[in-house]
Amino acid sequence: MTIPHRIPTLPNLQPELLDIPSAAKLEPVGDMSHPPRILLLYGSLRERSFSRFLIFEAARILEHFGAEVRIFDPMELPMVGSVPDTHPKVAELRELCLWSEGQVWCSPERHGAVTAVMKNQIDWIPLEMGAIRPSQGRTLAVMQVCGGSQSFNVVNTLRLLGRWMRMFTIPNQSSVPMAYKEFDEEGRMKPSAYYDRVVDVMEELVKFTLLVRGRTDYLTDRYSERSERARQAINRQLKQI
């Protein structure tokens, strides 16, 4: 079948902006010799928190793979909108997001969805901070812990949130059912197929982070944003006339 009209003849498109940026830009930008930087978030404030235990386990695995990890403690993080952005816990979370090249989100399932603790952390991360986008282009791994039988409600929701935050969510994920059976008294995860899956997820996260980092500007460059910048440039020129 022959295409009736070529793309440049479609209305409102700017042909000069349609070309995908040169593949040469796939070369990493900047010094990539440092270990992958991974931020981990968990969604519970309980003293015996299985989502925190799972995050600690993930952090140990990531360090074994050579990553540098930071874990954010959500205790005393105010509800979004209740305090200024300058609050110390908010500033800490946002600084860690800017530092990170990849992230791990883990939440218990509460009423079939993520917890308020988890969602509150994500809601404090803005899509834009001036010209900076704290989450765009970061890799993301999602996990959940269940009190009963295995569910995927939380990881599905976290994937939706990751897409909204313009992150590259890796294909693999972890859901641990009856989490109270999977951790010992010290909070260490027992050997099992569920533990093996966590190792798989962290390995995949490190690999994807190494592939993506230093290439974010290329991978997130969009026609719509190029055309918007072109329009803004034209408007600025017209105002100067």
Question: What type of residue is 199?
Answer: V
Domain membership flag for residue 218: yes
Kindly list the averaged pLDDT for each block of 10 residues, start to end, along the chain of length 241: 54 62 71 92 96 98 97 97 95 96 97 96 90 88 95 96 95 96 96 97 97 87 80 79 72
Instruction: Specify the pLDDT at position 17.
Output: 64
Instruction: Specify the pLDDT at position 186.
Output: 95
User: Do residues 200 and 175 lie in contact, with contact meaning Cβ atoms separated by under 8 Å?
Assistant: no
Domain membership flag for residue 9: no
Domain membership flag for residue 220: yes
Instruction: Specify the pLDDT at position 5.
Output: 54
User: Do residues 84 and 131 lie in contact, with contact meaning Cβ atoms separated by under 8 Å?
Assistant: no
Give exposure, 190-201, as e/b (b: 16+ Cβ within 10 Å): eeeebbebbeeb
How many CB atoms within 10 Å of residue 205? 26
User: Do residues 153 and 159 lie in contact, with contact meaning Cβ atoms separated by under 8 Å?
Assistant: no
Instruction: Specify the pLDDT at position 14.
Output: 64
Structure tokens at 148: 């009963």
How many CB atoms within 10 Å of residue 60? 13
Domain membership flag for residue 14: no
Instruction: Specify the pLDDT at position 106.
Output: 98
Instruction: Specify the pLDDT at position 11.
Output: 56
Domain membership flag for residue 7: no
User: Do residues 140 and 167 lie in contact, with contact meaning Cβ atoms separated by under 8 Å?
Assistant: yes
Instruction: Specify the pLDDT at position 233.
Output: 78
**CATH code: domain of residue 196:** 3.40.50.360
Question: What type of residue is 90?
Answer: V
Residue corresponding to tokens 């190029």? 226
Domain membership flag for residue 223: yes
Domain membership flag for residue 12: no
Q: Look at the chain and report how many structural domains it folds into.
A: 1
CA distances from 42 to 4, 57, 153, 236 (A): 52, 12, 16, 45
Q: Which of 66, 120, 70, 112 is nearest to 90 (CA)?
A: 120
What's the whole-model pTM score?
Answer: 0.86
Q: Which of 138, 183, 177 is nearest to 161 (CA)?
A: 138
Domain membership flag for residue 106: yes
Q: Which domain holds residue 79?
A: 31-240
Instruction: Specify the pLDDT at position 59.
Output: 98
Residues whose CB is less than 8 angstroms from the CB of residue 195 and which lie 6 or more positions away in sequence, other chains included? 57, 182, 189
Instruction: Specify the pLDDT at position 208.
Output: 97
